[in-house]
Amino acid sequence: MIFNIQRFSTHDGDGIRTVIFYKGCPLRCLWCSNPESQSFDYSVMYDKSRCKNFGDCIKADNKTITRIKNNGIQINRELIKKPEKLKNVCASKALTISGESKSVDELLAEIEKDTPFYQNGGGVTLSGGEPLSHGEELITLLQKLKERNINVNIETSLYVNWRNVDKCIGLVNTFLVDLKHTDKDKFKSFTQGDAGLVMDNLIKLTDSETHVIVRIPVIPGFNFSENEMKQIIEFVTSLKNVNEIHFLPYHTYGVEKYKMLGLNYTFGNKKQIQDSELLPFIQYAQSKGLKTKIGG
Ligand code: SF4
């Protein structure tokens, strides 16, 4: 299942790219700016500011959606059996369903619409969520893209079984690997995952001589300190075949989506990080011989 296709992107790789966002992620990063990407299932989103109280959603499912005193609705998401049936019931797009089930051939057809624009190294970036959690369907898509000589980048946390990564080697041009922290306790408490698995996979992947760019989300209260960033950069410099590192400064663009999903944004009221605040990290990484960039 995917939740978005972004065309003509100039991020996440060279040239003009089609970015496919897969739905489902095994991590739960507290700062995640795409919370709708975390569930492997459909997500019901409600934007109260767009609601005109037409009540079409209530007519579609009056057991799980109820009106609140003529001003908005209450949704009992756990009881909704077939969220996909609520797609397109709301004319004002206050109620939307994130998630679209697409076969490999359907995805390929979407990608092929854009192939005339894939010059200067452009192509497809598979993002998420976690694309490497998508098993055989992902491998089939990668094989078909390779047959068509389409450049492919995968954006991944590497928080998956090594077999899922191994199967992609040779089918992917560049892995854009998010390395969030090298401290296992910090990683666990902020993402619910295991930094050991990520680092082991990253060592194996870079040993395979695949092209890897490491990307560090710089997050206040998590890894935004000189010591922690130095530790992470040191780990990157210990890897074989990695000569480029990107710093992705924390932003708050996704905060509203938590409300729309009926979730709390528990990360708190943190300030966005300015590019200028990354300069010491950039200088340190460059002093270690790494090519650097701010942003994806
Ligand atoms: S790995 Fe990415 S998609 Fe998954 S929870 Fe973390 S920030 Fe969100």
Nearest CA to ligand 1 atom 3: 129
C-beta 127 within 6 A of ligand 1: no
Q: Which one of 29, 33, 98, 219 would you pick to mutate in the ligand 1 pocket, going by the greatest count of ligand atoms within 8 A of its CB?
A: 29
Query: Minimum mean pLDDT among 11-20, 64-73, 82-91: which range?
Result: 64-73
Return the percentage of the chain with pLDDT > 70, whole number.
100
C-beta 28 within 6 A of ligand 1: yes
C-beta 157 within 6 A of ligand 1: yes
CA distance 41 to 80: 12
Burial of 29 (0-12, 13-18, 19+ CB in 10 A): buried
CA of 25 to the centre of ligand 1 (A): 6
Nearest CA to ligand 1 atom 6: 29
pLDDT in tens, 219-273: 999 999 999 999 999 999 999 999 999 999 999 999 999 999 999 999 988 999 9
- Give the pLDDT confidence score for residue 69 in this predicted structure: 83
What does pTM read for this prediction?
0.96
Query: Minimum mean pLDDT among 70-74, 86-90, 109-113: which range?
Result: 70-74
Kindly tell me if the per-residue pLDDT of 113 is higher than 90: yes
Count Cα atoms within 13 angstroms, Cβ side, for 33: 11
Show the domains of the chain with their CATH numbers.
2-39+100-294 (3.20.20.70), 43-98 (3.30.70)
pLDDT in tens, 158-169: 999 999 999 999
- Write out the two tokens for 25: 């992620």
Kindly tell me if the per-residue pLDDT of 70 is higher than 90: no
| Nearest residue to 85 (alpha-carbon basis) of 45, 52, 50, 57 | 57
- Write out the two tokens for 80: 């909704």
Nearest atom in ligand 1 to the alpha carbon of residue 217 is 7
| Nearest residue to 168 (alpha-carbon basis) of 199, 201, 196 | 201
| Nearest residue to 46 (alpha-carbon basis) of 257, 235, 294 | 257
User: Angle at CA 188, nearest 5°, toward 184 and 191?
Assistant: 130
Please give the single-letter amino acid code of residue 154. I
CA distance 108 to 152: 12
Q: Which one of 32, 39, 98, 192 would you pick to mutate in the ligand 1 pocket, going by the greatest count of ligand atoms within 8 A of its CB?
A: 32
CA of 278 to the centre of ligand 1 (A): 21
- Give the pLDDT confidence score for residue 148 in this predicted structure: 97
pLDDT in tens, 49-61: 999 999 999 999 9
Mean pLDDT within 109-121: 95
Mean pLDDT within 262-290: 96
